[in-house]
Amino acid sequence: MTWIATVSEERHGELPIAVIDGEIDASNAAEIADRVRVLLSNRSAALLVDLTRTTYLDSAGINVLFELGTELRDRQLQLHLVVGPEQPITRAISLTGLDAVVPVHPTREAALEHAG
């Protein structure tokens, strides 16, 4: 993965949490998606992606999140995103309609209430 972003794994019980720190763009979106996908297990009912440390998100990153949402729905799982209301990426998520198809929460605590 390029150094412009890192993905770290956390867990809340059986719920995997991917924390993405940095920028998601065409140069690393596919790698980030692969890294996030491997966090799922047979016991997972949902996946939480924490984007509070994500500083940039281009169309490739948006597409990855749409695709993850679709893949998880097809597996009867749910994707939840954590995006602070004042983050630079909030507008891109809203303008593309991602927030209409994937639940977006302002805090991790709010996401855990709905994803758990």
Cβ neighbors of 61 (< 8 A, separation 6 or more) are: 24, 25, 29, 32
pTM attached to this predicted model? 0.93
For 50-101, the DSSP string reads EEEEEEEE-HHHHHHHHHHHHHHHHTT-EEEEE--TTSTTHHHHHHHTHHHH
φ, ψ for residue 18, nearest 5 deg: -100, 125
The pLDDT mean for the chain works out to: 94
Residue 95 pLDDT > 70: yes
Residue 11 pLDDT > 90: yes
Judge whether 53 and 28 are in contact, CB under 8 Å.
no
Domains and CATH numbers, the chain: 5-115 (3.30.750.24)
Residue 85 pLDDT > 60: yes
CA distance 78 to 95: 21
Average pLDDT over residues 88-106: 96
Model confidence pLDDT, tens digit, residues 29-73: 999 999 999 999 888 899 999 999 999 999 999 999 999 999 999
Average pLDDT over residues 106-113: 96
